[in-house]
A and B are shown apart, each in its own frame.
Chain A
Amino acid sequence: MKARNLYDKLWDSHVVREEKDGTALLYIDRHLVHEVTSPQAFEGLRLAGRKPWRTGSVLAVADHNVPTTGREGGIRDAVSRLQVETLDSNCEDYGILEFRMNDLRQGIVHVVGPEQGATLPGMTVVCGDSHTSTHGAFAALAFGIGTSEVEHVLATQCLLGKKSKSMRIAVEGELGRGVTAKDIALYVIGRIGTAGGTGYAIEFSGSAVSALSMEGRMTLCNMAIEAGARAGMVAVDEKTIEYLRGRPFSPQGELWESACSYWRTLTSDAGAHFDAMVAIDAAEIRPQVTWGTSPEMVVAIDGAVPDPKNFSDPVKRQGMERALVYMGLSPNQKIEEIAVDKIFIGSCTNSRIEDLRAAANVVKGRHVAKNIRLAMVVPGSGLVKRQAEKEGLDRVFQEAGFEWREPGCSMCLAMNDDRLSPGERCASTSNRNFEGRQGQGGRTHLVSPELAAAAAIAGHFVDPGRLP
């Protein structure tokens, strides 16, 4: 049999039917739903008199709009509240399992899925959210969809589409001290660009990826979409299996054994073809900081803001110039000299227990700098929060001057009250530094949890190893 890559295997096993032109009907195993991209889909379903095909495949949680403080009083913003209540009533009407706002299991949908074992190897996982690529860390084919497709999956358990091209990004070697999965992600995007993965499904491989924890792999796959790829994935290994053992939705007993033996086949065969290959030497990667308004505008912590004059392509140069104006930065400014106003540790990229441990490790015994207006930690889920509190991380953060919040998307996209004011500069562990993303006029620098924590202490970007 022809050697197949992981994406081929995942795709092939879900094709219900295929037209001559390659348009396939793809079966969907897991449908994650949140409040922002689903109300119109449920409405469409209702108007057409249709019912969800398989409610058991759906797991819903409100994350984008939920407040991260004062939840006992409910959601104050009436528009946000209506959206969350609409999710509640849709789930109730159709018998869909939902973790409501005050459920301990509530959190960011891309943290909750894996944490519950609702994301399993070999699955197709979709959600009306581009960061669904996160779940590919479990050798699942996971990708974001629009609301029309949310409705389509609800009604038919399938999606229509054509197979993407495949790309392997192999990161070989050992990562340097203080270099994280986030830095790999940003470095890759810096290398291939935010459209470098457009039209591809990316498999991340190589010894540096194998060495990552499941949390790290989720961070990496999460940002595949920032490289333009709808799906990112990592092959199954023993870490994948150990992570899933005993989770609420994971199979048990005999089923667990047969699942594991199937899951172990979910790797790319030796000699499998990829449409594109990128090789990266792990030793080249330094901790990364974005300087502009696109994740590809990124340099190493010990670097400087680039000078648009050195770029010949006029579209690119103008884009850089516009970004510098928006960001209030000058060419050749040293990254370590950029002072920040706010610190955000959270988001589906970096709000898992390992991220909080890493940040707490930097913060421990120190205090946030005087110029920092707000430093906040937003755990990815209620369960992450509880675990962190068990380990005393909440005290470490609070003693250092951080705020310790309730789980949700929060200031990653600022749909709730957590946001930047115009001109404010933020060291953020989130995934997008677009204009206005964290609040109109806000200036976002994407970094790892370690770098965000270090920036909080120093008041400006700094390599954590150089903190006094």
Chain B
Amino acid sequence: MKPFGYLDGLVVPLDRPNVDTDAIIPKQFLKSIRRSGFGPNLFDEWRYLDHGEPGMDNSKRKPNPDFVLNAPRYRGAQILLARENFGCGSSREHAPWALEDYGFRAIIAPSFADIFYNNCFKNGLLPIVLDAKIVDRLFAETFGNEGYRLAIDLQKQVVVMPSGERIGFEVDAFRKHCLIEGLDDIGLTLVHGDEIRAFEDRYRGAQPWLFIGNEK
């Protein structure tokens, strides 16, 4: 996983609530057995005028000029500014994979759906929850100022506006640590392998019926 420390990035505003993971990456692209390559199909149904299928040459497709990601002023954006309940719906990790593959490193919204929020941290993508009023302001500033950028300092847990104004945000200490270090949490968990085994033995004694069925 790519570590996340400090980011100074261009902001793109996606001004609609309840953006679901079906919209972020439509189902036909979930047939892939790979983890990468989803970026060109991020927001596929909004981003292109034609219907996308896996294996198409996306550079030959007709982009939707009305979709915000296609506006030249937002090209190369690394911060997605979004509305409430971003990432609702399916648990597909293809959604953060697509956002990350496109080039996003952080998403700012008033709220996120739980599973999506959790999935972001596993992929070097930082979801930041800010008060809805502040998000409103950021939308206004992004729309009003071409080339609008924000700086994000994860260590200090602040978003810094071009004016120098600093907005603090909350992030779970463990997730922050993993993101800053780019840590694989499976390795961290396996450090406690003996404890897991001991738990399992006690548990097997108490509820042996959980260890039958298809147990080999």
Contacts and interface: CB of A to CB of B under 8 A. Distances in A.
B119 to A, nearest CB: 4
A340 B97 CA distance: 36
Contacts of B51: 440
Interface stretch (A145-153, A168-176, A273-281): A145-153
Contacts of A122: 207, 210
B47 interface: no
Contact of B192 (A17, A161, A255): A17
Contacts of B91: 37, 128-130, 132, 144-146
A146 B16 contact: no
Interface in A94-114: 95, 97
A230 B115 contact: yes
Contact of B115 (A80, A83, A144, A195): A144
A413 B55 contact: no
A58 B210 CA distance: 12
Given A145-B91, A414-B27, A156 B196 contact: yes
Contact of B35 (A16, A43, A117): A43
B213 A195 contact: no
A206 interface: no
B189 interface: yes
A118 interface: yes
Interface residues of B, number: 64
Contacts of B20: 294, 432, 434
Contact of A148 (B23, B112, B123, B196): B123
Interface of B: 15-18, 20, 22-23, 26-28, 30-35, 45, 51, 54-55, 83-85, 88-93, 96, 111-115, 118-119, 122-123, 172-174, 184-186, 189-190, 192-193, 195-196, 199-200, 203, 207-216
Contacts of A64: 30
B89 A432 contact: yes
Contacts of B92: 36-37, 146
9 contacts: A17-B195, A25-B192, A58-B214, A148-B123, A164-B114, A199-B114, A262-B207, A415-B30, A435-B45
B122 A25 contact: no
A16 B84 contact: no
B89 to A, nearest CB: 6
B89 A230 contact: no
B190 A40 contact: no
Given A27-B199, A249-B212, A315-B83, A415 B31 contact: yes
Contacts of B200: 27, 54, 157
Nearest to B118: A146
Nearest to B84: A195
Nearest to B1: A148
Interface residues of A, number: 89
A145 B115 CA distance: 6
Interface stretch (A316-324, A328-336, A364-372): A316-324
A198 interface: yes
A132 B83 CA distance: 26
Contacts of B93: 37, 40, 128, 146-148
Max count, chain A CB within 10 A of own CB: residue among B17, B23, B122? B17
Given A36-B31, A130-B90, 9 more contacts: A21-B173, A25-B189, A37-B92, A130-B115, A145-B115, A156-B196, A160-B174, A228-B88, A259-B209
A23 B216 contact: no
A148 B115 contact: no
Contacts of B30: 36, 64, 415
B184 to A, nearest CB: 8
Nearest to A155: B186
Given A80-B31, A259-B209, A315-B17, A156 B174 contact: no
A124 to B, nearest CB: 10
A249 B190 contact: no
B209 A194 contact: no
Given A251-B209, A436-B26, A21 B16 contact: no
Nearest to A97: B214
A46 interface: no
A29 B118 CA distance: 21
A29 B199 contact: no
Interface string A158-193: 101110100000000000000000000000000000
A198 B192 contact: no
Interface in A343-383: none
A19 B174 contact: yes
A248 B20 CA distance: 37
Interface string A82-98: 11001000000001010
Contacts of B213: 56, 117-118, 248-249
Max count, chain B CB within 10 A of own CB: residue among A37, A146, A158? A146
B183 to A, nearest CB: 11
Given A19-B174, A144-B91, A440 B209 contact: no
A189 B172 CA distance: 28
